[in-house]
Amino acid sequence: MAQLQPPQDGTPSPAARAQGWARALGASAAGVGGPALFWWAHPFLGAVFAAVELGIVVFIVWSAVRGSPDEREGTFRLLRMVFGRPEPRAPESPPARAARPKRP
């Protein structure tokens, strides 16, 4: 069988798309299955485990939305690492920043 080659226009190959779906399905199963397993063992443990998991997700989203620029960068680096994506290339030159008007 011939090996699938990625298209030249930058779109992901069908195999890469299938791998992405499998990864998302696995993460969802772990996110739901962990608390469900603990709930089955003992309802209080399931509730605590679900609350901790939810707290971690809220913390990551909060730091991505409301954190300082360094916290945002760290959050997005963490998400890239978790999802196995490479770091983006650095820009050729630093982007020009618009001058802020000084407050009186």
- The pLDDT tens digits for 73-92 are 888 888 788 777 787 777 77
Could you state, in order of their start, the residue ranges of all structural domains in the chain? 43-84
Q: Give the mean pLDDT of the chain.
A: 76
Mean pLDDT value across residues 57-63? 87
Q: Rounded to an integer, what distance in angstroms lies between the CA atom of residue 59 and that of residue 61?
A: 6
Report in angstroms the alpha-carbon separations of 24 from 6, 56, 79, 87.
21, 18, 13, 20
Which two tokens mark 80?
């890239």
Q: How confident is the model at residue 12 (pLDDT cuts 50, 70, 90)?
A: low
Q: Rounded to an integer, what distance in angstroms lies between the CA atom of residue 56 and that of residue 83?
A: 16
Give the range among 26-30, 35-39, 51-55, 99-103 with minimum mean pLDDT: 99-103
